Each structure stands twice: as structure tokens, then as C-alpha cells.
Structure 1
Amino acid sequence: MRRSPWSTLVVLAIAQFMVVLDVTIVNVALPNMQTDLHFSADDLQWVISAYTLIFGGFLLLGGRSADLIGRRLVFVIGLVVFAASSLAAGLATSPLELVLFRGVQGLGGAMLSASALTILMVTFEHGRRRNIALGVWGGLAGLGGTMGAIVGGILVDALSWRWVFLVNVPIGILVIAAAFFVIRESRAPRVGRRTFDVAGAVLSTAGLLAIMLGVIRAEPLGWGSLEVVGLLAGGVLLLGAFVVVESRSAAPLIPLRLFRTRSLSLSVVALGLNSAGFLAMFFLTAIFLQQVRGLSALDTGWAFLPMGIAAIVGALVASRLVTAFGTRAVQLTAAVISVVGLLLLSGADATDPYATSLLPGLVLFGLGITAMGVPAQVAAQSKVHQDDAGAASGVLNAGYQVGGALGLAVITTLATSHVADAVSSGTAPAAAAVSGYQFGLLVAAVFAATNIVIALLSPSVKVSQAESTEAAELDPVSI
């Protein structure tokens, strides 16, 4: 049966739209989840972190699995896992259940997202048709992130927080059915003995989980407690074992030779810090708007819309400026804009007008977050051999997801500790909540400011307009 590549693109884009939508749609429902399931302030961030950490930890393994056993097969398996775990998350009755199902959802998202991009690249030959396909792909991904907060607000206000997960089920079923009729099965050419690096995926994810749990437990127990020290030390040991395994593996999850390229190594760190600032800002601001300023979930979604529009503009503008001024200048300017945006947001109070206290910071941060991601992506790929391009993209995306999860854990833990200290010293709970929000954004600004240093250390690269546009379309920080 003849299959149209454009119908394949439609199926892939809908699936990716669903995955990207899920990152932001959940944020506006967090206060309702906290009230209904009795989440503690410390544990609530796991609703976001469980998804992003597992997604990042298994993204590379998902891509390799697709190459070995079939890209359509892994895509469909990922869809099944994602839809089933969405149903389970929507029916969760306790914090533990919801966090566990969110982790499984991240696994399904990693499988379908990694295989979907590979299918797109083998379906469309290099040139104009592929550029159009990537433009549609990137545009829908950006739209999914931008619309997530509004769609989440509508579902929460009209129905329940549970529908931010349940909405994925009918969409997933339709895409699964369409995949068998529209997408052609394909595999990578077999060269020698090809194996799964399960050990690498398990060690890296377990190590990162241990470190993140150690950071979170430091708030109630103290940094010097035996449990916290044990978790942090164990996480470091597991990551050390991961490096050893990767160096000896015939088919490593992450080819360590990639990190000999300075531009790629620095870009991984830059994108991780970028993600940390974004996830923490979104998490803290969504709670601040609803629990402190009293906005509904839908009004909160509308409040984030200007940031999403600014982010799309930032990516488009950066893709053009890179060709004229090189990656370093654009990356440095964007990092500064991000810092200014976070500093403006950190000055917001419970009663200040939205137009003067929140809107300028949201717009500047939206511009900066994607305008920094595009040159980082371009610089990272500039020195990578074509045979390693797929692996490099996977490393960058994984670094973005994992960096965001770890950064969110650090920033929210420090913000929660700040609130607890303020309340214990006699500050009113409402004032303490405002102070915690402001402090958390200041910590996020420190993360963003680190990217100024990284930009100064990064080599400057100039590329063609087509290359920079492609980087913008594949930028993992599109929201």
C-alpha cells in the first residue's frame, strides 16, 4: 500500500504535540492536585520531575531501540505506554500513584518522541521537503507548549485536574490506529553486532534520581544527615559507573567521544541550565498566581500566553541573528535577557498589577529562553561528524530534560526552605509564600546568569540560514 509522507507527518506531529503539551498543561493543575491528593510542598514538584527525568534518562535508549527493532513498532509501544499511563494518572488516588504513573508517562514519551523524529528524518529526503516537514514539526511543538497552559486551565476549571491526563487517552488511541495504516516500518542498516545499552540507561537514571532525591530530602533533614549524604554519594558513584560502562561498551548509549568537542559539552550544560530556569519559573509562577494572587487555572493559562508567543519570536529571531553575528553573541545576549526577565519577575508581589509586575518579566524571559537555545544547538552540532549527528541531538535533548529535573529539584527545595524559615521566624504565611516565590526566582536567575559565563567560554560559529532555521525547529527548549 502506498503511503503519503505528508500523512506520516500529520500522525507524527499530533503525537509530538501531545507530548509537548503534557509538559506545560500539568503546571496550571498543580494547586488542584495538591489540594485533592494532599501533596506536601516538598513532594509536589515530583509531578513534573518524575516525567522530565525519566523522559531524559530513556530518550537515548528509546532512539536506539527504534533503530534496532523497528521505528514504527517503538513509536506505537511508546504511544500505548503514554496513553495507558495517562489514564492511570488521571485515576490516581494518592501522591505516590500519581508520581509513579508520571514516571511511566515519561518513559512512553521518550520512546515515541525519539522514534518519531527518526521516522520523520528517514521519510523526507534532505532538502526542501524535509525543511518544510521540520518547520511543521517545530511549529506544532512550539504551539503545544504555548497552548498547554491555556488548555490545562480550561480543563481544570470546566472539569477537573484529572482531565489534563485523561485527554491524552482518546488522542493516543486515534494516533495508534493511524500509525499502522500510515507509517512505514523501518530499521537502521545492521552493521556488526548491535546491542541495547540497558546498563547505561539504568545507571544514569538511577544516579540522577538518587542525587535529586538527596537534594529534596535535604530540606527536612539537613545537608549533613546520613540519608542525604548517602543519596548524594550513591548518585555520584552510580554516574561514575555509568561513565565506566559507556567507555567499555561496543554500542554505548552516549558515545563519550562526543564530549571531546568543547562546543557540544558547553551546550549540554547551557541547555540544562536553560531548562532548570524555565521549569522552576513555570512551576513557581503557576502556584504563585493561583495560591497567592487568587487566579483561576484558566486565567493562569492566559497569563502565560505572552511568554509563549515571545518564545516563538525569540527562536525565529535568533535563527536569523546567528547567521549575521555568530552563536556566541546571540547566546550571550539571550542569557542576559533571561536573567533580566527573572529579576523582574522576582519583584512581583501579591497585589501588584499584572501588566507592570509580571508581564514584562514573562515576555523577556520567553524571548531569552529560546533565543539562547538556538545558538547553543547550532554551536553543539557545528563540530560533530555527520555520523554522530543523531547521537549528539539525543545528548542535547537528554541534557535539557535531565538538567531541568535536577534544577527544578534544587530551586524548589531552596524556595520551600525559605518559606519554612520565614514562617518559623514569625512571618505571616501569605507574606512567606510571596517571599519564597521571589527567592526561588532569584535562585533561577543565578542559574541563568551561569549561562552568561558559558556563552563567553563557547566558540562562536556562523552558519547558513537553512542550518540555523533547522536548529530552531529542533530546539528542545521550544515551549
Structure 2
Amino acid sequence: MSLTTAPPHQSQRRSVAALAIIAACQLMVVLDGTVVYVALPKIQADLGFSTANLSWVVNAYTLAFGGLLLLGGRAGDILGHRRIFVAGIALFGLASLAGGLATAEWLLLAARTAQGVGAALAAPTALALIPANFDEGPARTRAIGVYTAVAAAGGAVGLILGGVLSDWASWRWVLFINVPIALAVLLAAPAAIRETPRRPGHFDLAGALASTGGMTALVYGLIRTSAPALAAAGVLLIVFLLREARARQPILPLRLLADRTRAAGYATMLAFPAAMFGMFFFLTQFLQQTHEYSALRTGFAFLPLTLLVLVSSALAAKLIPRFGASPLAATGAAVVTAGMLWVAQISPDTDYATGVLGPVVLFGLGAGLLFAPLTGAILSGVEPADSGAAASLLNAMQQVGGALGLAVLVTVADTASTPIDGMSRAFWVAAAFTATAAILALIARRRQPRNPL
């Protein structure tokens, strides 16, 4: 059963506008996780952050975003996805404006936290709006392809944009840039995007609190390597699962995980971003510290990845009907694994042309082949009442997978005697993550031919 059925005579113009709005939202949300990385030195100099506190410019956003995703998705199911989408974009835009105007540490951190809350409302509802606005079949497949291309390329776009804005204007513009985009989305969304039915009823407040607390503690514990936080996260998430098994209207219906294909899709989405976040983290350091690249040049070093993700995502959308999504997703993960094994040979003598560009190209090609089929697999066959929960869990897996993977890779890198040796070890482990993703994609294959995964 499909999530919902779009009107049969939906205009092409409205479809294009709806997809542009949803893609713009996803781009803002994803790139804001990386856009501040290259601007951090200038933020530190301007606002007087200590080295320890500077990391919270990134962490405040990640914690709020990852911790509130399930709540945001379920709020869309109950109150209407477009309604919550618009509220999230409005909050995100206002928080971006406040962050750009910040004159003190606490003001910027408060703004980044509010950005994360807005992203947690907007991201899962944006994905859930695709089935509500596009018929199942080629139209929806193309829409998911665009969405996933933007999601996969957004991190690299953030690095490029952050380098351009911080070098050519000011670090404040890495936040101000969101304001006109958010305003345009707010003005266009009511006319272009079809609302989903509201499903009033009991709101699982206890489940929302347990999941939010557990996800926040988990992300915090991974970022800060805090054993007490990780223990608290374990307790809260167990409480959350027990609660969801009994709740009349849970924020995470456990029946979503009963489907083998969907469960394996979520597991794949946990494993793959673990490698992706690590690649950005370590290659950015390698280029800036070893080869003394500027922030701008470092950002543009990832431009081939961005372009190839867009190309391979469009290609995947066309190939799914012919080959099925599971082989494509597995192939994409295998291509990325080859890139990880290549970059694991990194040494102080490795230059961009011979040791970095090739892996970046393979990562871009593979990521595009994986993300679109994977997203389609997770959304396929979800009941309309569960669409927000399914989408929010997908986004949560990306955040948690990225945070968990980066924490593991940094720990592995710290065991080496030199930074370059540490990076090499981390890339070997990242290759294991992507190989695991390939295996999971094959396990997830449906018995019916040509169905997603």
C-alpha cells in the first residue's frame, strides 16, 4: 500500500515547485552540518571561543537535530506534514538570522541549537511530503532521486559554501545565507505543496521525552566520549522501546522494523554515513594541515564529489526499474568501499591528483547509486499514518550513524603514532563500514522483482 495518492491531474508546474521547495529545505538542513567547519577559526577569533567550547558550534546543532527527529516526524503525522514543515523552516530561518547577528558565545550557541530544532521539524516532514505530492512510480522515483542527490551532496556543498563565504565575505554569512532561502520556501510552500491529512489523537508524550532524551544523550556521549551519557542513553532508549511497544499511537511504530527490507535499509543508513562523515573530517584535515590548502581551496577539492553524486543519483533513478534497487545500492556501497581502500593508502607524500581525487570520484559515484534506492526502500509500503515516523527514523539513522562512525574513526586514528598513519587506519575501518552497507543492501532484497531493495 502506498503512503498516499497524489491527484491524477497534478500540474507539472506545481510538481516542479514542490520538489524545488523540498530539495531547498533538505539542502539547508544537510549543509548546515558542515558549512561552519571551515569558518570555525574566524568564529573563534571574532567571538572569543576557547578551543574546547568551539566544538559546540557544531555539536549544539547536531544534538538538537539528532535528538528531536523522531518527535518532529510524528508531529507531522498528527498535525499535518506541511504545517510542521513550515513551522520548522520558519524557526530555522529566524535562528540563522539570530546566529549571524550573534555578538557573544552563548547567543551563537543558542541560535545553533534553535537551528537544530527547526531542522528536526523540517527534515522528516520534507521527506514525508514526497509521497503526498508525487504518484508512486516514475514521478515519485525521480523526486526521491533529486531529494537523495541533494542529501548526499549537501555535506560537500557545505564545505564549498563555507569556504567561499568565510573567505570572500564573513563567517556570519554561513548563517545569513539561509534566511532568503527560508523566506522563499515559506512564501511558496502553501501554494505548491499539498497538505497531508491531520490525524488527531493521543500524542505519545512519554515516548517523545524518552526518545528525545535518549537520542540526545547518545549523540552527546559519542561526541564527548562520555560513558555516563552513553549509559543514560542506553537506559532511556530501552525505556523508549518498551513504551512504544505498548503505546496506542507511538511516535515510532515498531511495525516499521518488522519488514526485513525496511529494517535492513535503516541499518544500511546507519553504516554508510559513518564512513561519509569520516571522509569529510579526515580529508579536510589532510588537505589543510599537510598541504596547507586554504578553506576555499579545501572546499572546492570536494566539488567532483558533489557533481558526481548528482549525476549518479539521476542515473540510479533510471536504472531502478530495470535492475531493481537492491543491486544498485549494493553496487554503490561496493564502489565507495573501493574508494575507501584507495584512500587508506594515504601517506605524507600523497598529493590531491593521485591519492585524493580518485577516491573522491568513487565516493561520489557510489553515494548517488546507494542513497536513492535506499530511501525508496524505506518509504515503500509505509502506511500514511506512519510516513512521518518512517522518514524521521531515516534521518535519525544518518545523524546517529555519522556521529557514531566519526567517534569510532577518531578513536582508531588516535591509536597511531602519527596523524597520517591514524588517518590511514581510520579509512580501513571506514571501508569495513561501507562493505557492511553493501552486504546489508543485498540482505534487504525483496522477493518480488523490481521492488525497491
Partner Cα distance (1:75, 1:329) in 2 = 33
Task: After TM superposition, give the deviation of residue 155 of structure 1 in Å.
Answer: 0.3
Partner Cα distance (1:136, 1:217) in 2 = 34
Q: Is 1:165 aligned to 2:178, yes or no?
A: no
Q: Is 1:207 aligned to 2:214, yes or no?
A: yes
The answer to whether the 8 Å contact 1:207/1:234 transfers is: yes
Residue in 2 aligned with 1:474?
A: none
Residue in 1 aligned with 2:240?
A: 242
Q: Is 1:411 aligned to 2:409, yes or no?
A: yes
Look up the equivalent residue of 1:194 and give its one-letter code. Answer: G
Going from structure 1 to structure 2, the CA distance change for 1:153 and 1:264 (only over 3 Å counts) comes to same
Q: Is 1:458 aligned to 2:444, yes or no?
A: yes
Residue in 2 aligned with 1:259?
A: 257
Measured against aligned partners, the alpha-carbon deviations of 1:111-157 in whole angstroms (never above 9, x if no partner) come to 22333444554455567766666666556656655543322221011
Task: After TM superposition, give the deviation of residue 285 of structure 1 in Å.
Answer: 1.9
Partner Cα distance (1:386, 1:361) in 2 = 40
Residue in 1 aligned with 2:276?
A: 278
The answer to whether the 8 Å contact 1:322/1:462 transfers is: no
- Range moving further from structure 2, 352-361 or 432-441: 432-441
The answer to whether the 8 Å contact 1:59/1:398 transfers is: yes
Q: Is 1:197 aligned to 2:204, yes or no?
A: yes
Partner Cα distance (1:232, 1:134) in 2 = 34
Measured against aligned partners, the alpha-carbon deviations of 1:198-251 in whole angstroms (never above 9, x if no partner) come to 332332232233234334444xxxxxxxxx443222111010011112112111
The answer to whether the 8 Å contact 1:68/1:187 transfers is: no
SS at 1:25 equivalent? coil
The answer to whether the 8 Å contact 2:329/2:369 transfers is: yes
- Range moving further from structure 2, 325-334 or 4-13: 4-13
Going from structure 1 to structure 2, the CA distance change for 1:297 and 1:198 (only over 3 Å counts) comes to farther
Residue in 1 aligned with 2:433?
A: 447
Residue in 2 aligned with 1:57?
A: 67
SS at 1:348 equivalent? coil
The answer to whether the 8 Å contact 1:57/1:402 transfers is: no
Instruction: Give the TM-score, by structure 2 length.
Output: 0.82
**Given the alignment, which residue of 19, 25, 37 partners 1:15?**
25
Q: Is 1:175 aligned to 2:185, yes or no?
A: yes
Q: Is 1:88 aligned to 2:98, yes or no?
A: yes
Within 5 A, what are the aligned runs for 1:112-131?
112-119=122-129, 121-123=131-133
Residue in 1 aligned with 2:197?
A: 188
Look up the equivalent residue of 2:68 and give its one-letter code. Answer: F
Task: After TM superposition, give the deviation of residue 393 of structure 1 in Å.
Answer: 3.4
Going from structure 1 to structure 2, the CA distance change for 1:293 and 1:39 (only over 3 Å counts) comes to farther
Partner Cα distance (1:138, 1:215) in 2 = 26
Q: Is 1:338 aligned to 2:347, yes or no?
A: no
Task: After TM superposition, give the deviation of residue 267 of structure 1 in Å.
Answer: 1.4
Partner Cα distance (2:363, 2:273) in 1 = 12
**Given the alignment, which residue of 14, 22, 29 partners 1:5?**
14
SS at 2:33 equivalent? helix
Task: After TM superposition, give the deviation of residue 257 of structure 1 in Å.
Answer: 1.4
Partner Cα distance (2:213, 2:177) in 1 = 30
Partner Cα distance (1:45, 1:293) in 2 = 23
Measured against aligned partners, the alpha-carbon deviations of 1:454-477 in whole angstroms (never above 9, x if no partner) come to 24533355655xx76xx9xxxxxx
- Range moving further from structure 2, 107-116 or 168-177: 168-177
Residue in 1 aligned with 2:38?
A: 28
Task: After TM superposition, give the deviation of residue 375 of structure 1 in Å.
Answer: 3.7
Look up the equivalent residue of 2:429 and give its one-letter code. Answer: V
Partner Cα distance (2:78, 2:394) in 1 = 21
Task: After TM superposition, give the deviation of residue 28 of structure 1 in Å.
Answer: 3.3
CA RMSD of aligned residues (A): 3.5
The answer to whether the 8 Å contact 2:214/2:237 transfers is: yes
Residue in 1 aligned with 2:79?
A: 69
Partner Cα distance (1:460, 1:256) in 2 = 20
Task: After TM superposition, give the deviation of residue 97 of structure 1 in Å.
Answer: 5.5
Going from structure 1 to structure 2, the CA distance change for 1:164 and 1:214 (only over 3 Å counts) comes to same
SS at 1:23 equivalent? coil
Partner Cα distance (2:106, 2:179) in 1 = 21
Task: After TM superposition, give the deviation of residue 63 of structure 1 in Å.
Answer: 3.2
SS at 2:32 equivalent? helix
Going from structure 1 to structure 2, the CA distance change for 1:285 and 1:162 (only over 3 Å counts) comes to farther
Partner Cα distance (2:158, 2:431) in 1 = 24
Task: After TM superposition, give the deviation of residue 159 of structure 1 in Å.
Answer: 1.8
Instruction: Give the TM-score, by structure 1 length.
Output: 0.78
Partner Cα distance (1:161, 1:241) in 2 = 41
Measured against aligned partners, the alpha-carbon deviations of 1:247-293 in whole angstroms (never above 9, x if no partner) come to 12111111011212222112111111111211121122223322332
The answer to whether the 8 Å contact 1:53/1:401 transfers is: no
Residue in 1 aligned with 2:267?
A: 269
Residue in 2 aligned with 1:78?
A: 88
Going from structure 1 to structure 2, the CA distance change for 1:34 and 1:339 (only over 3 Å counts) comes to farther
Residue in 2 aligned with 1:377?
A: 375
Partner Cα distance (2:25, 2:442) in 1 = 37
SS at 1:233 equivalent? helix
Partner Cα distance (1:336, 1:123) in 2 = 33
Count of paired positions: 440
Residue in 1 aligned with 2:285?
A: 287
Going from structure 1 to structure 2, the CA distance change for 1:438 and 1:97 (only over 3 Å counts) comes to farther
Structure 1 unpaired stretches of 5+: 219-227, 423-431, 472-479
Residue in 2 aligned with 1:223?
A: none
Partner Cα distance (2:330, 2:141) in 1 = 27
SS at 2:248 equivalent? coil
Q: Is 1:152 aligned to 2:159, yes or no?
A: no
The answer to whether the 8 Å contact 1:29/1:161 transfers is: yes
Residue in 2 aligned with 1:107?
A: 117
